Structure 1
Amino acid sequence: MSDNEDVTRRRLYWHSRRGMWELDLLLMPFLEACYDELSPDDKERYRELLANEDQDLFTWLMRREWPQDPEMRRLVQMIVEHAETTDRSRHQAL
């Protein structure tokens, strides 16, 4: 990882920590496990997602509503699905 990528990654890490436990439980694991594999467009979309208000993120990530933009909706669904898959795997291991 280049120095620039490392700085970007650290910034994303801190921007993904929202101070709202529910959001942290969804965003942090997704960043750590999936971000590097995203397309450049989806990486940009993730950064755009983080620019939204916590209340909007909470509404979307709790599946109460979906973002209007179809590509942002797809990214939010990826985050939710990652959390569900990780949760199922954790329960099966127990």
Structure 2
Amino acid sequence: MLELDTILAPFLEHEYPELSDVLQRDFQRVLNCSDLELYRCLLRAETPSDLSLQSILGVIREKHQARHSS
């Protein structure tokens, strides 16, 4: 899904290297989510089915919004 690529690719390139080990593992787990669930969580701010991913999804949303609010 193109919308997800425009969020996740820049995050991976710019933010991922600076994440803690825990958040890096969580990001890797996010990549196993379905496109539909990621779309709902990242673009609609819905709660993920795996609640342990809320933190990384919040970080991804925040970084994406910060890149586009400048």
Separation (CA, whole Å) in 2 of partners of 1:64 and 1:38? 21
> How far has the Cα of 1:64 moved from its partner?
4.4
Match of 2:63 in 1: 82
Q: Per-residue CA shift, 1:16-56, capped at 9, x if unaligned?
A: xxxx1110111011111110011111111000000011111
CA RMSD in angstroms, aligned pairs only: 1.2
Instruction: Please give the TM-score of this superposition, normalised by the length of structure 1.
Output: 0.68
Q: What count of residue pairs does the alignment treat as equivalent?
A: 69
Q: Secondary structure at the match of 1:52?
A: coil
Which amino acid letter does the alignment assign opposite residue 21 of structure 1? L
Bigger CA radius of gyration = 1
Match of 1:58 in 2: 39
Higher relative CO (Cα under 8 Å, sequence separation at least 6) belongs to: 2
Moved over 6 A (4+): none
**Percent of aligned positions that are identical:** 33
Separation (CA, whole Å) in 1 of partners of 2:10 and 2:47? 20
Which amino acid letter does the alignment assign opposite residue 86 of structure 1? R
Task: Go from structure 1 to structure 2 and tell me whether the alpha carbon gap of 1:39 and 1:64 turns closer, same or farther (over 3 Å shift).
Answer: closer
Residue 47 in structure 1 maps to residue 28 in structure 2: yes
